[in-house]
Amino acid sequence: MIKKGESFYPSSEVKKRAWLKNRAIYKEAAANPQKMWNKLALELQWMKKWRKIYAGDPPHFSWFVGAKSNITQNCLDRHLKLQKNKVAMIWEPENVAEPKRIYTYYDLYREVCKFSRALKKLGVKKGDRVGIYLPMIPEVVISMLACARLGAVHSVVFSAFSSNALQVRLEDAQAKILITADGYYRRGKIIELKKGADEGLDNTAVKKVIVVKRANIEVPWQEGRDVWYQDIIKDEIDAIDPVPMDSEDPLFILYTSGSTGKPKGCVHVCGGYMVQAYATDKWIFDINDEDIFWSTADIGWVTGHTYSCYGPLLNGATFLIFEGLADWPNADRWAQVIDKYGVTTFYTAPTAIRMFMKNGTEILKPYRLDTLQVIASVGEPISEKAWLWYFNEIGKGKCPLLDTWWQTETGGIIVTSLAGMGPFKPAFTGLPFPGVRVKILDDEGKECKAGKEGNLVLLPPFIPGLLRGIYNNEKKYLETYWSAYKNKMYISGDLGYRDKNGLIRVVGRADDQIKVAGHRLTTGEMESALAKNLSIAECAIVGVADEIKGEVPVVFVVSKTDIPADQLKAEVVRIIREEIGPIATPKEVFIVKDLPKTRSGKIMRRLLRKALSREEMGDLSTLSNPESVQQIQETVQGPRQA
Ligand code: WTA
């Protein structure tokens, strides 16, 4: 057990199994990061070796220049010789009574090959974009790998996103195939996914829809366009050669929030992403042969891509994916899963930790949780209280707790303490991964002293897995990530500081993106959805603190018509749920006369947040309409007492 203010260092037992236990790695890697990545890359198989490790002229750069590989050869074929029958993936369904599914490396290899062949017959070839809109079932992993084997670029869309959100992403990626399912289970009910997927196909280039039978329900069907997954793989041969891919060929596009309405398609490439996913999974989580690795994030987010698919498979590890939720049918469901499979490495988000804390430790009493060796967190800042609870109650005071900071854009973990070394300091994330140059800068580009908050940036040679662009939007790529410091460094958009030992704590975003239960959402995308569908003059959405979810959206609307307030509020909620998804449901909707603006017309969302948290407003002299502020305070807080 540790208390507030203390740090934890790994025991000799933990160190014994660790890949890295000597701090010298940080110095060595800093002296020559390329050498370190070169060595790690050599642990994988390549069809052709690189001419150069890194070539860069930021904002454009490449890794493993001229090399050819296929990530699925390293995820699957490479393991067939020595561990053909080792378990690769365990699938636990939502329904406790339904049987689990287990895939050995050989099983997974054959399933992927069959589906690759079927995709090829449907015309999928290198470079084509394939949309994947699937729940957490084994076919989502098989689909990603089957695309990668052919060199097709997958773009997974979170299955709880609405059809509108799907449509925007498919249209932007110009996907020609969509892989979805008939339906899936959520809290015991069936979600009709195919029905939603059909609604998301308007204006897209999708010509074929492949439907996985999961819920065995009737679905709308378009002859000639729709095919059942189970039918097209049935008679396929279970082997196909992987297509050689250049290191800089795209592997996948994953959409994430932008500061404006439209989501950004982050492009990740074959060679660099592969090496980084492999190395970070191995060194950070200390993946060993006998481990059972479980990352609870949905595959629709980057954590799912890197640590519920590619990372563990590249390491020949056994990993688990789970269809259900933490608290259904009861709040002990995850503990049940940990004990059922003897999970050794558990990776989750602060929002889940807060939920468990609220439920109290009583519910965990029947569980041993004693197979756990490493526990980890991602997605939002973790408070000291939640950190200590997770460490003491789940990790039983003996497991290294890795807080990991990274982003969809970085493809893999950037800042964390390594399991075999520590230190694990409550509420601090740790040091940059060996060889990664992270700085915290003020707006002028000067490095911040310990304790002072600033912008988190990455310096050349960056990392092999950093995004290479925003799909079809070079301008946005440059503006978002590079222009602030003259194209010399990658700007993360996050704020953080270091303690006197250099450990980093990330405190939050420098822009208007919010994290709802760990899901990255853009208030801009929600605002555009409202503006498009409602007769309103203006709206602004901000995130406010929530005990469990971390942050939740609150909407401010200026109405154009005299539509009754209750009706307008209900419409706002309906539109956001329909256009984005239920995760974005606003906590509150306020109808106001005006929104505070600067003289140049920019809405001051900061003041809306202050009104919600009842903070002092400070100087309002730069506003064009300072009177709006009092009205907003009254709406939010009730009329002032005389
Ligand atoms: C936030 C998730 C504090 C941060 C892998 C980042 C964190 C955004 C942490 C990326 C952490 C992620 N501490 N904040 N350990 N990890 N964040 O793209 O604001 O879904 O920019 O990737 O989550 O979210 P994304």
- Residue 251's alpha-carbon distances to 135, 271, 310, in angstroms, are 21, 9, 11
Q: Which atom of ligand 1 is nearest to the CA of 507?
A: 3
Using the predicted structure, report yes or no on whether residue 257 has a pLDDT greater than 80.
no
Nearest CA-CA partner of 291 in 265, 264, 271, 318: 318
pLDDT of residue 640: 61
Name the token pair of 274: 């592969």
Model confidence pLDDT, tens digit, residues 468-525: 999 999 999 999 999 999 999 999 999 999 999 999 999 988 887 899 998 988 888 8
For the chain, give every domain's residue range. Answer: 12-493, 513-637
The CATH number of 513-637 is 3.30.300.30
Nearest CA-CA partner of 465 in 224, 248, 276, 201: 276
Q: Which atom of ligand 1 is nearest to the CA of 256?
A: 18
Q: Which atom of ligand 1 is nearest to the CA of 515?
A: 23
- The mean predicted confidence, pLDDT, of the chain is 94
Q: Is residue 151 a contact partner of residue 127, using CB atoms and an 8 Å limit? A: yes
Q: Which atom of ligand 1 is nearest to the CA of 409?
A: 18
List strands edge to edge, sheet with 101-104.
101-104, 87-92, 318-322, 292-295, 345-348, 374-378, 401-404
Residue 633 Cβ contacting ligand 1 at under 6 Å: no
| Rounded Cα gap, residues 310 and 277, in angstroms | 7
Could you say which DSSP state residue 523 is in? H
Name the token pair of 76: 């699957």
- Arch. (CATH architecture) of 12-493: 3-Layer(aba) Sandwich (3.40)
- How many angstroms is it from 180 CA to the middle of ligand 1? 27
Q: Assess whether the previous peptide bond of 244 is cis (omega < 30° from 0).
A: no
Mutual angle of helices 24-31 and 33-41, in 10-degree steps:
100
pLDDT of residue 639: 67
Q: Which residue bears the tokens 């069936």?
A: 190
| Rounded Cα gap, residues 506 and 511, in angstroms | 14
Nearest CA-CA partner of 577 in 609, 530, 539: 530
Nearest CA-CA partner of 84 in 105, 107, 101, 114: 105
Mean pLDDT over 227-234 rounds to 98
CA-based end-to-end distance of the chain: 51
Q: Which residue bears the tokens 């999970």?
A: 343
pLDDT of residue 513: 86
| Rounded Cα gap, residues 167 and 538, in angstroms | 25
Residues 6+ apart with CB under 8 A from 83: 105, 316
φ and ψ of 161, to 5 deg: -75, 155
Residue type, 188: G
pLDDT of residue 367: 96
Residue 306 Cβ contacting ligand 1 at under 6 Å: no
Q: Is residue 535 a contact partner of residue 520, using CB atoms and an 8 Å limit? A: no
Name the token pair of 217: 């329900």
| Rounded Cα gap, residues 501 and 508, in angstroms | 21
Residue 467 Cβ contacting ligand 1 at under 6 Å: no
pLDDT of residue 261: 65
Helices (H), 218-295: 229-233, 270-285
Residue 403 Cβ contacting ligand 1 at under 6 Å: yes
Model confidence pLDDT, tens digit, residues 527-574: 988 988 888 889 999 999 999 999 999 999 999 888 899 999 999 999
- Residue 393's alpha-carbon distances to 320, 385, 579, in angstroms, are 22, 12, 39
Name the token pair of 336: 């049940």
Residue type, 388: L
Residue 520 Cβ contacting ligand 1 at under 6 Å: yes
Which of 296, 380, 382, 463 to mutate for ligand 1's pocket (most ligand atoms within 8 Å of CB)? 380
Q: Which residue bears the tokens 């287990």?
A: 102
Angle at 386 between CA 511 and CA 427, to 5 degrees: 60
Percent of the chain residues topping a pLDDT of 90:
86
| Rounded Cα gap, residues 66 and 247, in angstroms | 7
Q: Is residue 77 a contact partner of residue 56, using CB atoms and an 8 Å limit? A: no
Residue type, 629: V
pLDDT of residue 623: 86
- How many angstroms is it from 565 CA to the middle of ligand 1? 36
Residue 301 Cβ contacting ligand 1 at under 6 Å: yes
Q: Which residue bears the tokens 């959206």?
A: 553
Residue 406 Cβ contacting ligand 1 at under 6 Å: yes
- CA gyration radius for the chain? 24
Mean pLDDT over 373-390 rounds to 95
Lowest mean per-residue pLDDT among 196-205, 306-315, 600-609 = 600-609
Name the token pair of 427: 């509420």
pLDDT of residue 258: 66
Name the token pair of 93: 């369904």
Mean pLDDT over 379-401 rounds to 94
| 3-state DSSP assignment of residue 190 | strand
Nearest CA-CA partner of 404 in 384, 424, 390: 424
- How many angstroms is it from 380 CA to the middle of ligand 1? 5
| Rounded Cα gap, residues 369 and 341, in angstroms | 10
pLDDT of residue 260: 63
| Rounded Cα gap, residues 612 and 626, in angstroms | 17
Q: Is residue 524 a contact partner of residue 259, using CB atoms and an 8 Å limit? A: yes
- Residue 600's alpha-carbon distances to 259, 261, 513, 597, 624, in angstroms, are 18, 20, 22, 8, 8
Return the number of other C-beta atoms located less than 10 Å from residue 571's C-beta: 18
Q: Which residue bears the tokens 């822009």?
A: 511
Model confidence pLDDT, tens digit, residues 436-452: 999 999 989 999 999 99
pLDDT of residue 38: 98
Could you say which DSSP state residue 393 is in? I
Residue 404 Cβ contacting ligand 1 at under 6 Å: yes
